[in-house]
Amino acid sequence: MGHGVLSGIRVADFSRVLAGPYATMMLADFGADVVKIEPPSGDETRHWHPPVDASGQSTYFGGVNRNKRSVVIDLTDAAGRAEAHRLAASADVVVENFRPGVLDRFGLSFEAVRTGNPGVVYCSITGFGTGAGARLAGYDLLVQAVGGLMGITGAPDGEPAKAGVALVDVLTAQNAVAGILLALRERDRTGLGQRVEVNLLQSLLSALTNQAASTLATGVSPRRLGNRHPSIAPYAVFPAADRDLVIAVGNDKQFGALAGVIGMPELADDVRFATNAARVAHRDLLDAELEAGLATAPAADWVARFTAGGVPAGIVNDVGEAIAFAETLGLDPVVEIERADAATATSTASAHRSIANPIGLAASAPEYRTPPPALGEHGGADWLPRSS
């Protein structure tokens, strides 16, 4: 167990797949003792491969389950339920993302757990809440569709597009972490726990920010603009001589700098482009001018020139390039955790590599103690007692 700001906090993690495990990993990184309860078949994502890492473990599972202990508990078995009840009774936090009512059937509802554990913070993660939406399956793709994100993502003349990662699950996980920490802070004051509820649909609607705000204010839903911005120009992807880059101009001063760098200073004085509102109104004409200029040099050259000139710009990286870029900035994006069975002390072949926790605390940095556990790795009589 860790020594971070959440040291001494036990989390009974009944969640699986992505939103719940991501949230509990964030807590584990800061010292919480997270006990991952899995059915005999394991978390579904253990079987989602390829790809696998050097140890043969699913990279999907490995990406969100470091710093945890795994215990196999069969909730359909009386002995398994008794073990789960003991764990829930010992926990500061319970996290679950079953469909509403499922854990109730096993005597593990919030009401049942708090009867013997009044200080418990019980976090339920659902797709669409516990009311009329309780029967709906909470899959990220489905929520991106019905929640409006796909309606504003994709080319104007193409099909709606999803984000390239299960973004709604990740957003919901972050809301779950915030809710759990708020409830723990309140418990410090009152000694009592409470239920925390987050769902994928509301997490997405909240994250729509300016797009939702404009819809509420005007009654008109935004349309798909591809990589363009509804309120700013030029703020999009542009082709250079060899590959794509992004230009993200946020004000008239930056546009004047852009026009100078690209060798077209007259654009800044053109009435069609002199103000942001004019640029948005004439974005097709502006894009054509910029594309003609950008075609004369490679993307990396343009990015260097734009950066020197104070124009926000960057290459459209793939994931590997993005990680390498963060490394060049000294952000240390990758952490390595040696596995206990590593062949030698210097071997990294079996080390677990993952992306670092994005939260930096100056006095209490996150810890990377153990790789994602094997199924049932920590079962047995010694897992239940709390450490003093």
Residues involved in catalysis = 169
Residues near 8 by beta carbon (within 8 Å), at least 6 away in sequence: 31, 33, 387
E runs forming strands in the chain: 10-13, 33-38, 68-72, 93-96, 121-126, 195-199, 235-239, 244-248, 313-315, 334-337, 352-355
Looking at residue 229, its amino acid is H
Q: Residue 91 and residue 66: Cα distance in Å, rounded?
A: 19
How many residues does this entry show for the chain?
388
Instruction: Report which secondary-structure segment, H or E, holds 339.
Output: none
Report how far residue 232's alpha carbon sits from residue 11's, in angstroms, rounded to the nearest whole number: 44
Distance of CA 82 to the CA centre of its chain: 33
362, containing H or E segment: none
153 close to 224: Cβ distance less than 8 angstroms: yes
Nearest to 73 by CA among 99, 28, 41, 46: 41
User: Which residues does 195 contact at the CB level (< 8 Å), separation at least 6?
Assistant: 110, 122, 123, 124
Q: How far apart are the first and last CA of the chain?
A: 11
Q: Using CA atoms, how far apart are residues 217 and 163, in angstroms rounded to an integer? A: 26
Residue 25 one-letter amino acid: M
What is the DSSP secondary-structure string of 204-232? HHHHTHHHHHHHHHHS------TT--SS-
Alpha helices, DSSP H only, in 136-237?
140-146, 167-190, 200-207, 209-218
Residue 137 CA to residue 380 CA, distance in Å, equals 34
CB 316 within 8 A of CB 246: yes
